[in-house]
A and B are shown apart, each in its own frame.
Chain A
Amino acid sequence: MIRAVGLTKKFGDFIAVDGINLNVNQGEVFGFLGPNGAGKTTTIKMLTGTLKPTAGSIEILGMDMKNYPIEIKRRIGVAPDEPRIYEHLKGYEFLEFIISIYKLDKTEMKVKIEELCDAFEVDYLDKLAGEMSHGMRQKLMLISVLMRKPEVLFMDEPTVGLDAKSAKILKELLMKYAREGTTVFMTTHILEIAEKMCDRIAIINKGQIIAEASVSELKEKYRASLEDIFLSLTATNDIKDIVDSL
C-alpha cells in the first residue's frame, strides 16, 4: 500500500530524511516513532505529495507519486500535525469545501459527519475556525479526513492536542478502520500510543530508520519495555551497538 525506496529530503546541505525504505501493508497500523526533529513530518509530507523528495521513489496504492499525484490524493486522507483551517470559514463551510473538492455525495457525507460529530462531541460546526481552540480545529480536521473514509490514512501526531476521551475515540476508530482494510500510517513520539495501537513500528532518528519490527518482536528482542528500547535506540551513544545487534 505504502512503499518508499531510498526516500531522501535535503534542505540545503541539511539532510532531514536520509534514504529511508518503507513498506506498509493493507490494513496495517504503522507507527512512525521518533524524537522531535527526527524527520517524521518531512517524511509524511513527501509520502502525501506536499514535498517533493530530493531522491527516492514513492508508491501509494500501487501508483507512483510522480505520475499520479492527484489520483493518489483522491484516495488517501491526510491529517497534518497542525490543524490549519481558513479562519473565516465556519466549521460546516470547511467540510462543505472538502466535499466539493472531492465531489462527494452531500447526503451521504451528512450522515457520516453527524456520526463523527457525535463520536468526537463536536457541536460547534457553526463557529468560525478562527474562533476555535487548537483541539477543536484538530477534531474538525479529523472529521474532514475521516468522513471520506480514505483507503490510506496519514496522521501526523494525531493525538497531540486532543483531550483524553477524544484521543481514545480516535485510537479505537483507527483500529476499527484498519480491521476493515484501511491502511494507517501515523507518526508519534508517544510510546504508549505506538505500543497500544500499532501492528508494526519503525523508529526514526536523525533522518534514518534505526529499527523496524512489530512491537512484540522488539520487546522480545530486548527484553525491556518499549520505552527503554526507544530511549536507548535514540540516545546519542551506543546506538551503533544496538543497531548492529538488530
Chain B
Amino acid sequence: MLKDALIIMGKELKNIFRDKRTIFSTIILPVVLFPVMFGIIGLITKANEEAKAKAEYTVYIESTLSQPDELTKVIDEIHKVGNFGIVNDGINEKAIESNSTAVGLKIGKNGDIFVATVIYNSVKEKSTYAAQKIREALMNLNSELVSAELLSRGINPEELNFVQVNDMVVGVSAENGNVEEAKAKGQFTQILAVLVPYFLLIYIFAGSMGLGIDTTAGEKERGSLSILLVNQVSRTSIALGKMLYLMLMSVLTSVLNLVGLVIGLYLEMSFLGEANMPFSIEIGAAGYVLLFITVILLALLSSGIITLIGSLARSVKEATGYITPIYMIVLLFGISTMQSEGSKAFYYYAAPFINIIFGMKDIFMGTFSVANFLTMFIVNSALVVLFVYLTAKIFNSEKVLEVTTE
C-alpha cells in the first residue's frame, strides 16, 4: 500500500515539476523571498543612514550671546557632531522650510544658563536629523560645562553618582556584556518573532493551497483521477500518495523558506556590518532544530487539511470556496497574534495554527517551554493523522467518485 502511495507521489512530483510556475513558487521564490526582503530593507536603511551622515547641513544662527567665545564654543560643538556650515546672520525661516538640509538655532543666555531653540522642518527627514545633531551638540556642551563647574568646586564628576544602573538583557545572548549590541539584537529579534511566523504561515498555507486543490479537486475536474481509479491501486494508496506528495512539497517549500531566511540574515549583516546592525537570530543550534520541527508541523497540518477538503469538493471552484475561509481564519490568527508576545497559557498551544505561531515566537524570544512545545507537537501530529485517515475514508467512499460528470 505504501509502495503504491510512493509511486503515485512520484507521478505527482514528476507532473508538477514540469510546470515552470510551480518550480518558481515552490523552489525559487521561497529561497529568494527573505533575502530580497531583508536585502532591500538593509540597502535602504544603509543608504539612508549614509546619506544623512554624509550630507552637508546649514545652521542659521541667531545669537544674543554677549561674549564672542561663548558662540565659538557652541559652533565648535556643532562642528564636532557633523558636517555643518554656519550662517551667523539670523534665522532664515524660508530657507529652513524649503531646504531639507537647513536648521536654525536661536541661542542666548538667561543668567548663567544657555537658552536655545532649534528650528527645523519636522516633515523632512534630514532637517529632523540635523536638529537632532544640534541638540546632541548642545547637550555635549552642557556636559562639558557641568564637568568644568564641578571641577572648579573640587568635585570629581565621576564620583558624583549615587546610583549606578547596569542593563542586563535576557532572552538574547549578549556578547560579553556588550549591552547596547544586545539591545539592538533584542529589537531585531522582536521583529523576527513578529514577522517570520506570519510570513511562514501565509507562505506555507497558500503554497499548499494551490497545489493541494489542483491534485485533488483539480484532478477530479480534469478527469485524470479516473486513471487511478480504474487501475490496480487501492483508494487508500491514492489518498496517501496525494497526501505524501503535498506534504513533501510543503515541507520542501518551508525548508527552502528557512534557508532563505538564514541567507537573508547574512545579507543583512554584510550590508550593514555586524557591529552596526547585528541583525541575527541567535537561537542556537537547538533553536534551529525546534524551528525546523515547528515549520514541518505547519507544512503537514496545512497540506493535511487542504487535501481533506480538496478531496471532498467536486470542483476547483468548490474547493477554493471551502478553503478560502480557512485561509482567512489562519491569516487572522497570524495578524491578531503579531503583536503579542510568546509563552501563553496552555490552551494557546492546544489550538492548531495558533500554537505554531506561538511555538515560533517562543523560539525567537527565548520563552520556550518543553511542556508547551510538546502540547503543540502532539496536538498537531494528532490532527495530521486524523486528516490522513479522513482523506483515505473519503477516497473509499462514493464522495470522490460521483464527480466526474462528462
Q: Which residues of A contact B (CB under 8 A)?
A: 11, 41, 48-52, 70, 73-74, 78, 80-82, 84-89, 93, 97-98, 100-102, 128
Among candidates A49, A87, A97, A128, residue contacting B7 with C-beta atoms closer than 8 Å? A97
Q: In whole Å, how far is A186's beta carbon from the nearest beta carbon of chain B?
A: 15
A98 to B402, CA, bound (A): 24
B233 CB within 8 Å of chain A:
yes
Q: In whole Å, how far is B7's beta carbon from the nearest beta carbon of chain A?
A: 5
Which residues in window 372-406 of B have CB below 8 A to A? 398, 401-402, 404, 406
5 A-B pairs whose Cβ atoms sit less than 8 Å apart in the complex:
A48-B230, A51-B402, A52-B401, A82-B223, A86-B11
**Across the two chains, which residue of chain B brings its CB closest to A54?**
B398
0/1 per residue, B30-74, Cβ < 8 Å to A?
000000000000000000000000000000000000000000000
- Known contacts A78-B230, A88-B16, A101-B232, A11 near B402 by CB under 8 Å: yes
**Across the two chains, which residue of chain B brings its CB closest to A84?**
B223
A178 to B406, CA, bound (A): 30
Q: A84–B15 contact, CB under 8 A?
A: no
Among candidates B14, B233, B234, B401, residue contacting A50 with C-beta atoms closer than 8 Å? B401
Q: Which residues of B contact A (CB under 8 A)?
A: 4, 7, 10-11, 14-19, 222-224, 226-227, 229-234, 398, 401-402, 404, 406
Q: B224–A85 contact, CB under 8 A?
A: yes
A52 to B398, CA, bound (A): 7
Among candidates B10, B18, B222, residue contacting A128 with C-beta atoms closer than 8 Å? B18
- The interface residues of chain B lying within 8 Å CB-to-CB of A81 are 406
Q: B229–A101 contact, CB under 8 A?
A: no
- Known contacts A85-B227, A128-B18, A73 near B232 by CB under 8 Å: yes
Q: A74–B18 contact, CB under 8 A?
A: no
Q: In whole Å, how far is B86's beta carbon from the nearest beta carbon of chain A?
A: 71
Among candidates A50, A86, A88, A100, residue contacting B230 with C-beta atoms closer than 8 Å? A50
- The interface residues of chain B lying within 8 Å CB-to-CB of A97 are 7, 11
A66 to B403, CA, bound (A): 21
- The interface residues of chain A lying within 8 Å CB-to-CB of B406 are 41, 81-82
A39 to B299, CA, bound (A): 43
Q: B230–A49 contact, CB under 8 A?
A: yes
**Across the two chains, which residue of chain B brings its CB closest to A74?**
B232
A41 to B406, CA, bound (A): 10
Among candidates A74, A80, A100, A128, residue contacting B226 with C-beta atoms closer than 8 Å? A80
- Known contacts A51-B402, A82-B223, A88 near B234 by CB under 8 Å: no
A52 to B16, CA, bound (A): 30
Q: B226–A89 contact, CB under 8 A?
A: no
Q: A88–B15 contact, CB under 8 A?
A: yes
Q: A101–B230 contact, CB under 8 A?
A: no
